[in-house]
Amino acid sequence: MASKARLEGGPDDLRGQVVPITPPGQELKIPHRGGYEHFKATTRHEDAPEGRLTVYEWWERTEIAE
């Protein structure tokens, strides 16, 4: 079973989403509206219907080079 994370911070339409993480513990780089939203793992966890989730916190946005 793949590990999953709860997103915290960042754009309103990503905040609170549950997403797969592979491999666990690494930065998440999510394509979003012409750029990437970057999330880092925290030491916090949350129990949810999907199981125990690591909370990933937004830390920056980068643009996709054209």
- Token pair of 38, please? 């970057």
By DSSP bridging, strand 18-21 and strand 3-8 are antiparallel
Domain segments of the chain as ranges = 3-63
Q: Which amino acid makes up residue 63?
A: E
Could you read off the pLDDT tens digit of each residue along the chain, which spans 66 residues? 568 999 999 999 999 999 998 776 678 999 999 999 999 999 999 999 989 999 999 999 999 877
- What's the predicted TM-score (pTM) here? 0.86
Single-letter amino acid, residue 60: E
